[in-house]
Structure 1
Amino acid sequence: MTVTNFATGAHQEKPVLWVDGNIHATELVPSSVCLYLLQTLDLLQKSLNHPSPTLPL
């Protein structure tokens, strides 16, 4: 999943943060942490009074 704000340029020209979740079959918590991180980034973006980032799937 790519999370970016296209209004500030293409995602290929921005810094990157790679987050892995559930890389092992029995892990349950990492998927929740990844979703929480996305929710937190969205709330941060909204609190800064910027338009929400586009989430292409």
Structure 2
Amino acid sequence: MKDNEKTEAKVEQAKGKVKKAAGRAVGNERMTAEGRAEESKGDVRQAKEKVKDAFKD
């Protein structure tokens, strides 16, 4: 996995977690949903890179 892509996935996951927590804290359902979506997007990106690595070896 490229370090840059791995880092991007981790950053996206972290941003999503923060946004989700902030949305819950202020009672904003839209922000919570956006945070979940961002976190999931990071999870998918990371999984994609792991699959690429598995087939590379």
TM-score if structure 1 supplies the norm length?
0.43
Higher relative contact order (CA 8 A, sep 6+): 1
TM-score if structure 2 supplies the norm length?
0.43
